[in-house]
Structure formats: C-alpha cells, structure tokens
A and B are shown apart, each in its own frame.
Chain A
Amino acid sequence: MKTFAMGGVHPEENKISTEAVIEQFPLPKTAVVLMTQHLGAPATPCVAKGDKVKVGQLIGKAEAFMCANVHSPYSGTVAKIEGCKDAFGIVKPAIYINVEGDEWEPTIDRSATIVRECTLEPKAITEKLKEMGIVGLGGATFPAHIKYSIAPDKKAEYLIINAVECEPYLTSDHRVMMEHAEEICIGVSILRKALGVPNAYIGIENNKPGPIATMKAMAAQFEGIIVQPLKVKYPQGAEKQLINAITGRRVPSGKLPIDVGCVVSNVGTAFAVYEAIQKNKPLIQNILTVTGKKLPSQHNYQVRVGTTYADLIAHSIGTLPPTTGKIISGGPMMGKAVSNLDAPTTKGASSVLVIDESEASRAPESNCIRCGKCMNACPMGLEPYLFSALVKNDRIEEAGAHNILDCIECGCCFFSCPANKPLLDEIRLGKNKYRAIMMAKKK
C-alpha cells in the first residue's frame, strides 16, 4: 500500500468521535465575524454599523490579491465594526452582528436536492470560488481561487483530494465523507474541470474503512475520480507528503505543488466548492469536531463561522471537566492551544479538542544525546537537532542555509525526541527570525 517515502511517526489515533453524526449547531444571540479567516491580508468590511444583513450577504470584501471574501453567516443587524481578540488573544478586525431570525439571501438554494450538472466554464468556476470566499479547509486556509488560477507557464496534471485526516482525534472529514459522499464527488468533478486534468485522486488513510467504501461506491458513478487508500502514517495529510504518497513525486525545496504538476485540496473544501458552485452558498459554515477522552459525549457539528469556543463547549458538553488541562483548536500534533475561549471560530477551524491535565503538560527537558530519532522522523529530511543548536546560539543564517524554511511544522521531531527537547518551538522561532532577516535584506 502507498505511503510517503521519508520519515513519519505513528501517534495514538484516538478517533473517538467517528460515530457522532453531524449535528446542526444552534444560532447564537450575538456573533463576531473576523475579517482574517484566511491566509493573507484582512478583508475590508463593506457594511456599516446599523445595517441589516442576511445570511450569505457579502460583508468583507477581498481587496488585496492574497485575500478572500467574507460573508455573513447570520441574519440581523451590524452592531459594531471593531477589533476582536482571536483564540490566541491577538486583536483582529471584526464585524459584530446581533442575530435576528435566520433569513437567507434568496439566491442561495437551501433545498436538499443534489445538483450534479455544472455548466460553468473553468474560468467562471474560479471566479465563483473567489466570489463565494472559498478557502482551503485543510488548515492553512489558502484562498481557493488563487490555487485554481494556474499560471500560464505551469500545467496541472494531478488533482489530489486530501481526505487523509492523519491528525489524531479529528473526525470532521470522516463524517463529511460518510454523509456527503455524492456532494464531495460533484465538488471534485467541478475542481477537476476547473483544472482540466483527466484524473482526481482522493487519498484516504486505511484506518477509515467506512469512508473508503462509501467514497469508492460513489466515485464509481463519476468519471475520473479514483479513491486511493493509503498506509497509515503521520503526517500523510501534509500537502507535500500526500503528493509523494500518491504520485511518487517530490516537491523541490522552496517550490509549490504546482511546480510538479499537482494541486491538492481538502475533502472539506470539495464539499464547500459543491455548495458554492451548485447551490450558491458562500463559505459560512464548516464541520467541526468537539472531542476529548474525558468528555461525556463526542460531537461533530456543522457550525456557522463566528460561533464562540465557549458556546461550542457549553452546548456540547455543558461545563468542562474539572481536570481539563488544555483546549486545542485543531489536532494535537499541529493545533494551537486556545487561550481565549470567547473568541469566534473561523472558516479553517476543524476541532475543539479538550485534553486532560494528565496529558497536557510537557515532560521535563534533558540534553540531546545525538540519537538521531528526530532526523529519522522528519518527513522533509531535515536535521531538527541541528536547527535547535543553531537557533539557540543565534546562528540563524546557517540554519537558513540548512533549509529551515522547508520545515512543515508537523511536530514529528518533538514527538519522537527521547530528551523532550522543544525542537519544534526552536525551529519555529528560527523560521520567524530567518524570515525577518530575509525581509530586511530585501529592503
């Protein structure tokens, strides 16, 4: 069975919420919609205080190149346009909405009928992706219209749909595939058309037999969709690793997937693309897992963007268990600990993971014994122990010469380190410093 060539680790899977059917999350009374829910510049608010908005109405316009439109997930009145602290306490521009009823834009098709035919031309598809504010839902929230506008000197050969979900605990992609297989396949066909590639590969790890069977059965009804089961190994869901696993190609250092003829999108993105193109529904909802070993119940929700983390916890489990140690947005390997529970969720949020005290804190750090486990685990073939030493001694440019920027921050090195050295922290710091040096040099 296929997998990527280099490195990788096997963290405990802990997929305990796979059986939880996707529920609709109730509407809050007031909501905050951040203007930076994507990679790049913040969107510019295009409504004013006191304006009435409907669900799906454009409220944040993408003016910069690297930006995505933001639509209102609620109907109601704009209370204020002001900064709001995100999950990590950093103030971001935001629009506050007093929710009144649930009135949708009339252009949005809310019926349950599934529309298979798509008559749009490739160019019109990317235009519509831009209009609907679609971003990649695999974590990086890269604006989709930029990804699918291929430069004239490059050619896409493969469309790869990332349904690997290699992070422990997360099950949102699993549930989407179980419940919306047909919509996903239509979404994939649309993306395939936008790129003009013959085949699309859906990569699914072997620990998800249910979704593999469902997707295989559904893909048989569509032309050019191949479901590719993969051997379980973290970080298979990372773009470059997935390309390697499916096509055998390697993305060179500093290059993008399109340079080896590949375009990778998340399975959640494919679902969002279906809804945007066929149903005129902008990206205002996403599927989110609320999970944790010590929680009384596990949930998968379809949540409107802008619901607060506190609301999610209060509605799903009531109160947090008294022994809660950490709340993580995203998976345990790459996610970030939430320090502000009153923050709203964004388009890219994939889970609320509640970690128990006993598992939350780090083990004491000791000295590097040069065992090389981090090198064996690194899926990019880098030398984490070396970066650690270089960054500590402020030899940032040397670290840059050893391709520190190639690090995908998957955390395999930290996970495998027997000395519990904060390797990933040091590498991240080194990357930040190196980028700052490069920026200064450019000027």
Chain B
Amino acid sequence: MKILMHILSFEWKILWRSQTLKVLLLVILGAGLYGIYFGKFEVEKQQARIAEVQAEQRQRFDSLLVWAQLDTTLEANRAKYARALMPSGSDYRTHSNYTVVNTPSATAGLCLGQRDLYPVYYNLNITDFARKVNTGELANPMKLLTGNFDLSYVIVFLLPLLIISLFYNLYSVEKEGGTLPLLRAQTVSLFTLLLGKSIIRLFLIWGVGAILLLLGFLLQGVPLAATESGFFRWLGILLAYTTLWALVMVGVVALRRSSALSAMLGLGLWLVFTLITPALINLSVSAAQPLPNRAEVIHAVRTQNDKNWEMPKSYVLNQFYAAYPEYAEVDTTEFYPWYYATFTVLDQEAQALKAVIDEQVQERNAQMARWEWLAPAAWVHERLAGLCHTDRQSQMAFLKEAQAYHEKIKDFYFARLYEGASITLEDLRKLERGL
C-alpha cells in the first residue's frame, strides 16, 4: 500500500508536468463547456417555441372570454359569441383549439436526445385526434443527422478518447523511454507499477468527468440535490462508463505493444464501440425489418371519413353510442351530434390500426435494444436520454398525455353538446385553468 501511494504521488507529478495532458484537459473542458452551452441554447429554443404557442393559447382564451360577453343583438357578434359559448361552435369548420405542450425536463439540456425529432406541442380540439398529431417540427435534416453537440456527446464520445490518450502508452512509454530496465531491476512488480499508473489516470478521468457534470448541472441551473435532477444517477453512469473504458485500455496495454500500435488498437476499439457496432445493428435491423407504412393510418381515416358521410347516420351513431352509452338518447335528426360523433368513429378506426403499427415499431426497437449491450456508447446515451426524459419513450408518454387531454376536451364539449346545454363563462374559466 505504501509503495502504491508512492507510485501514485510520483506518477501524478509526471502527468501533471506533461504539456500534452494540459492541452488535452483544456480541449475536453472546452468541448464540455461548449456542449453545456449548446444544450442550454437548444433547450431555450424549445422553450421559446413553447412560449410562442402558449402565448397564442392565452390570446385565444382572452378572445373567447371577450366574445362570451358580446352583445348578440348585433349581427356581427353572433358568430363569435357562438364560437365561445356554443358547444358546436359557430360552424362545422371552426373549432377552438387547445394547446398541449411537451415541456423539457430540467436536465433536458444535458442530453438533448430525440426531442429534436418531434414537435414540442399539439393543437387539439373537439374533432379527431388522429390527424392532429400528424405534424412535425421544422428542422434541417442535416442537423438531425450530425446530431447535437451536448454534454452527453462529450461524455459518451469524447471522454473515452481522453481515456485512450491517457492509457495507450502506459507500458510502452517506459519501454520506449528506456526506463523499463531500471524499473524491472527494482523489487516492485511491474503489475503494481502499472496498477498505480492506471489508478491515478482513472482518478483523473473521474475528476474531469465529475467536474464537467457539476458544471453542466450548475450552468444549466439544475439543483443537484433535487431527486428529479438525477445527478447521482448521471454520476453513477459516468463513473461506470469511464471505468469500463479504462478497463478496455488496460486490456490493450496488457498486450504490451508499441505506443503506435496501442494507440491504433485503442482507437479501433473506440470505433467498434461507438460507431461500428451501432451502425451494424442499425443496418441489420433496417434491412431485415422495414418500418411499417404509417400513411396507412391516414388512408384508414380518409376511407372511414368517406364511409361516415355515405352511410346512413345510424352507422356512425351506433358506433358512437357503444363508446358513449350515456348519450344514447340524443336527437338523431340533428346535424351536430352526428357530425361530432363521426370523429370518434374516425379515431377508433385510426387507433386500432395505429396500435398494430406501434406494436410492430415497438418490436423493431426491442430488436435493436436487444443488441444494445454490444454498443456501450449507445447504451449509455439511451440511459442518459432516459434520465433527462428526452428519449423516444418520453415522447410516447407525451403522446399518451396529449390523447388523454383530447379525451378531456371531448368530454367537456360532449357533456354540453349532447345534453343540449351551452357553455358558461364559468366553464370557460375552468377550461382556462386546464380542465
């Protein structure tokens, strides 16, 4: 133990005096800071987009509240008044929209994950849900392809490179530097010496990683202690991942090859773990299982829509009553009760098909995830995205939430529409508070 401490203290001196190390540390810190800054910038952009739609939502409510109090003796006011207080709206093409937004989590800026692929909000109304979510967000596909330079990228891709550069010549530097014979003449074993050198490097890496993480949390204003921040989970993953890389490099060093070959081997393994394996998995899955055609859902909706309008009204209403038995007594001759019932039928049709497709997609993703352990970088990135709620699962959860919200909107309107009641000012205020 005493000898190990001795080795540690001297190895630290040697490391600390090397210019290369200082440059490398500066580079990784610079990259980390840029990543943190970039992540913050991207999340702020998402927040700005959310603020934009929320402002519009606010404006809509303000209008509704004003319209609800308009003088209906004036012809010009009637449509607006109806829009605000009639559950069927002013006419069958105009509906009040309600916005549901996917607010980024506190740590979303540390791992931007998959959020850039999906819209941050949906506008929903009393009509169908199926077509409302067929929107995307404007994004340059080139940027989506090259990905985000965030802190998780620095940790998953660049930190291993630092590990490789610190470890590759652990043994060969002694051999090529000529200090090996003298070392071997000492009673201490080469193993102890290399162990000491590895430990000090591992500590250094851990330190760098922890500093980056701390900076990330502090600069993005995430309280460390809060349980939802997941700081300690981040730290745990970081420590495990860097240790894994250190072990890989110890394996490379154990081969006792020249510095040049060890560096190439290390870099080769880096490529295998971060690039080649995930790319091969992606290739095999995309060749073996093409994605199902989601346009089928749109097709199902339009076909159903055609049918709804062609068939006698009972066709729609019977299906509607099955889903909403409480409204089975409504007047079947009126237009609006039938009209809004058609959307429920559309959604049912779309939902059934979507469930099948989602199942297939899920299966395909499970196939990919089954091989994830072969690509530790992908595994770690997926876990970090999970911690920050920026992975695909979180998007799916948001979709579910949006669907539930849509149900609430429908319930609100239907309760009045099918009971023949109108919306009150009080109701509008309730809507404003978020149902």
- Judge: A and B partners, yes or no: no
